[in-house]
């Protein structure tokens, strides 16, 4: 009996070693070295360089981006950890469909933030998408600091004639600068 228990313990330890080796391999090959530098040369794990693209098939220009930190990527936070920021774009910046801008964010490595946007509608008036009737004020797309200290984020904004709402039809959030 003792011999069988010893064999079972040894088999379990070999399995555990295999799992730990697999996890270590993932971290080693993840491409996000905590000592890496961003494309601007900044050496910090809290700095994230973002290329923000308003896709060419968007119907509206973007003039406002607000952020709310959501915490670690692995956490299941549904509410922001702190209040939404003001507009992070420099005053007067408008990202037309097909255009992009760069900015640096202070998001710790392994964390994410939610963003919400404002658009320029007809006659140069601004509309924050989350301020439309029956919209969740904490809704928005994500920017993650995961896999790289550089990120390409893109968004497509359209108007739905049936519902009468402006909305984000699609977005991407990928490691690296495209």
Q: What is the pLDDT of residues 21-61, one digit of tens each?
A: 444 334 433 444 444 444 455 444 789 999 999 999 999 99
What pLDDT is recorded for position 134?
Answer: 81
The mean per-residue pLDDT over the stretch 145-159 comes to 94
Beta strands, E only, 10-164: 47-54, 61-72, 100-106, 111-120, 126-128, 141-144, 150-160
What pLDDT is recorded for position 7?
Answer: 52
Mean pLDDT of the chain: 81
Higher local confidence (pLDDT), 130 or 38? 130
Higher local confidence (pLDDT), 160 or 15? 160
pLDDT at residue 15 greater than cutoff 90: no
Coil vs helix vs strand at 176: coil
Q: Name residues whose C-beta falls within 8 Å of residue 129's C-beta, 6 or more positions apart in sequence.
A: 116, 117, 118, 119, 135, 157, 166, 167, 168
Could you tell me which of 37, 35, 68, 65 has the C-alpha nearest to residue 51? 65
Q: How many CA atoms lie within 13 A of 120 on its CB side?
A: 12
pLDDT at residue 67 greater than cutoff 90: yes
Read off the pLDDT of residues 100-115 as tens digits, 9 standing for 90 and up.
999 999 999 999 999 9
Residue 51 CA, chain-centre distance (Å), reads 11
Q: Name residues whose C-beta falls within 8 Å of residue 31's C-beta, 6 or more positions apart in sequence.
A: 147, 148, 175
């Amino acid at each position: 009996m003792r011999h069988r228990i010893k064999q079972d313990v040894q088999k379990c330890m070999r399995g555990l070693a295999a799992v730990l080796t697999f996890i270590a391999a993932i971290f080693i090959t993840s491409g996000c070295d905590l000592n890496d530098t961003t494309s601007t040369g900044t050496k910090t794990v809290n700095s994230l360089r973002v290329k923000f693209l308003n896709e060419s098939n968007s119907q509206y220009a973007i003039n406002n981006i607000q952020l709310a930190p959501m915490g670690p990527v692995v956490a299941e936070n549904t509410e922001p950890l702190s209040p939404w920021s003001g507009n992070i774009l420099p005053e007067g910046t408008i990202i037309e469909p097909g255009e992009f801008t760069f900015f640096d964010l202070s998001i710790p490595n392994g964390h994410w933030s939610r963003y919400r946007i404002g658009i320029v509608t007809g006659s140069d008036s601004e509309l924050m998408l989350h301020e439309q009737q029956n919209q969740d004020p904490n809704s928005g797309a994500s920017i993650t600091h995961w896999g790289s200290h550089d990120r390409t984020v893109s968004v497509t904004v359209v108007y739905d004639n049936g519902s009468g709402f402006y909305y984000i039809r699609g977005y991407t959030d990928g490691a690296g600068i495209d």
